[in-house]
Amino acid sequence: MTFAEWTEHTAPDMKGAHMAAGDNQDALNYLLQIGYCCRIIDNVYDQDRRYDNQDLMDVFELLVTRIPSNPFYQENIKTLQPFQNLGWCAWQQANHLCTGTPTERIYAHVYRGLVGELYPAVALLTRGYDAMIEIRKFMESYFRDSWQKSLET
């Protein structure tokens, strides 16, 4: 799915991104672009789906040109970049641990959740502390017990 298709079909349903960004369109674009890149990269890594060259070119374009030139990202790079770094490292560690012992698989699910910490960070930057708390509570509504299935051998 190209970024244009994803923007049309998936992005409108990303309530957390819309809530976090508030009326800041650049912040929303940043979250949607990062979200698309994360989804595609994760699916390629897990081999959940095949992608064509345009999908992959969209990821490269977003990561190399659009996100770095986004005014919200440029203004807040010193705050956002550590979250991106931690999210990337957590995602890599989660992929490493997801086939390990039951305890390691639990940690894999915890680490995966760290990627979502960009939402509260953006909410703090765009709408303040109370909005950050609101987004964190909203995100908790998406917690599932499905991780328990990964412990079954």
* Closest C-alpha among 109, 145, 146, 137 to residue 15: 137
Main-chain phi, psi angles of 48, to 5 degrees: -75, -25
pTM for this one?
A: 0.88
Residues for the chain: how many in total?
Answer: 153
Q: Collapse the DSSP code of 48 into the 3-class scheme (helix H, G, I; strand E, B; otherwise coil) and give the result.
A: coil
Tens-digit pLDDT profile for residues 4-23: 998 999 999 899 999 999 99
Q: How many angstroms separate the Cα of 153 from the Cα of each of 99, 102, 149?
A: 10, 9, 9
Tens-digit pLDDT profile for residues 11-60: 998 999 999 999 999 999 999 999 999 989 988 888 888 888 898 999 99
Q: Is 104 exposed, middle or buried (0-12, 13-18, 19+ CB in 10 A)?
A: middle
Q: What is the pLDDT of residue 98?
A: 86
Q: How far apart are CA 91 and CA 109, in angstroms?
A: 9
